[in-house]
Amino acid sequence: MFPGPLINATTNDVIHVNVFNNIDEPLLFTWNGIEQRLNSWQDGVSGTNCPIQPGKNWTYEFQAKDQIGTFIYFPSINFLKAGGGFGPIRVNNRPVIKIPFPKPEAEFDLLIGDWYLKSYEEIRSLISNNSRANDSSPDKILMNGKGSYFDNDSRVFESFTVTKGKTYWFRISNVGTAWSVNFRIQNHRMVLVETEGSYVNQMALDSLDVHVGQSYSVLVTADQEEQDYYIVAAPKQINATGTSTLIGVAVLRYGNSVIPPRGALPPGPDPFDIQFSVNQAKSIRWNLTAGAARPNPQGSFNVSNVTLSQSFILQSSVVEINGEFRYTINNVSYVTPETPL
């Protein structure tokens, strides 16, 4: 199954996931965005968990305590994520707490990820080989595991069927390993309503930058002529033309449509315009008047006359450690300990 099954929970639910490791190397799953209050040993990362050994299983148990939102799970070690294993997590409001927008007709999970023609074992080897690290760039973008897997014309695209006049909730996540993407739907605008567990002040968008590991919720109203429309996820910092297989494509399908998508793929912002991404991210604001996990909204709080006494500068760089390139923050890099904490 690719992607993995949906974990569909409600605030404060306790979730049990029994993972069987049927591959030939150790495996860990992490639950991206779940807070794991007083429960870090279930987080599924190498600093706190022992990996599941081949042929063994482990049951994760964690609570979506005081949370709502759109999240993902994925393998967290040894570049296994590049081979799949990821899936969506929904944490829904409790019935007593209303969502801050009219209930949509339906919800769709959309997992966008870059894809390699080489196996994850091959890519892992290339990354660890400094002289060939540049050969490890992704080859494709898939949506819900569908698209152009190989260099041929045989493609099966993900599709979402809608009814004219209805509004739909798209939960979008970037499950890739390398590329940020710009997401857009031909002739349709989106309304951003939630990001990774927080409702936000609603804002209408023509396109949305989604970086690796991020999740967003958008509302899309089927208000165009009844036909099919392109859904596009285009890589950032890559010169991908409208016919390139580097661009991920899906289809928004009106229920009565007999007309396939027409015209060129919808254009987006300049993929090299970093300021577009920065400005869009900075414009997103937490909705402080909406209840989420609890019935009482946050409300606003103004802080004034605060004297700043310290500044912290975090600088990233790449250095060679034990013969391998590693990213660092202030010249410090994480190395997995032999024994979890």
Query: What is the reported pLDDT for 295?
Result: 65
Instruction: Please give the helix or strand (H or E) that residue 123 lies within, else none.
Output: helix 120-128
Rounded to whole angstroms, how far apart are CA atoms 153 and 156? 10
* DSSP conformation letters of 213-242: T-EEEEEEE--S-SSEEEEEEEETTS---T
SS3 of residue 282 by DSSP = helix
Q: Where are the domains of the chain?
A: 7-92, 106-283
Are the C-beta atoms of 124 and 83 separated by less than 8 Å? no
Which residues contact residue 257 at a Cβ distance below 8 angstroms, ignoring those fewer than 6 apart?
Answer: 226, 227, 228
Query: What is the reported pLDDT for 293?
Result: 67
Query: What is the reported pLDDT for 301?
Result: 63
Query: What is the reported pLDDT for 147?
Result: 84
Query: What is the reported pLDDT for 46?
Result: 84
106 has which bridge partners? 168
Query: What is the reported pLDDT for 93?
Result: 93
Give me 115's structure tokens: 């894809």
Query: What is the reported pLDDT for 283?
Result: 97
Whether the model clears a pTM of 0.85, i.e. scores above it, the answer is yes
Query: What is the reported pLDDT for 245?
Result: 76
Query: What is the reported pLDDT for 35?
Result: 92
Examine domains 7-92 and 106-283 and report if their fold is the same.
yes
Query: What is the reported pLDDT for 131?
Result: 54
Q: Which of 273, 264, 282, 235 is nearest to 114 (CA)?
A: 235
Q: At the fourth CATH level, which superfamily is domain 106-283? A: Cupredoxins -  blue copper proteins (2.60.40.420)
pLDDT along the chain (341 residues), means of 10: 93 96 95 91 87 95 94 94 94 92 97 92 80 71 82 74 98 96 98 95 98 97 96 92 80 92 92 95 91 62 78 90 84 78 61
Query: What is the reported pLDDT for 49?
Result: 86
User: Residue 122: what residue type?
Assistant: E
Give me 147's structure tokens: 């698209």
In order of 192, 195, 200, the CA distances from 281 in angstroms are 12, 11, 12
Where are the extended beta strands (E) located within the chain?
A: 7-10, 14-20, 29-32, 57-63, 69-75, 87-92, 106-115, 140-143, 159-162, 167-174, 181-185, 190-195, 198-205, 208-210, 215-221, 228-235, 248-254, 316-321, 324-329
Query: What is the reported pLDDT for 300?
Result: 60
Rounded to whole angstroms, how far apart are CA atoms 36 and 68? 13
Rounded to whole angstroms, how far apart are CA atoms 151 and 117? 9
Q: At the fourth CATH level, which superfamily is domain 7-92? A: Cupredoxins -  blue copper proteins (2.60.40.420)
Longest dimension (CA), the chain: 64
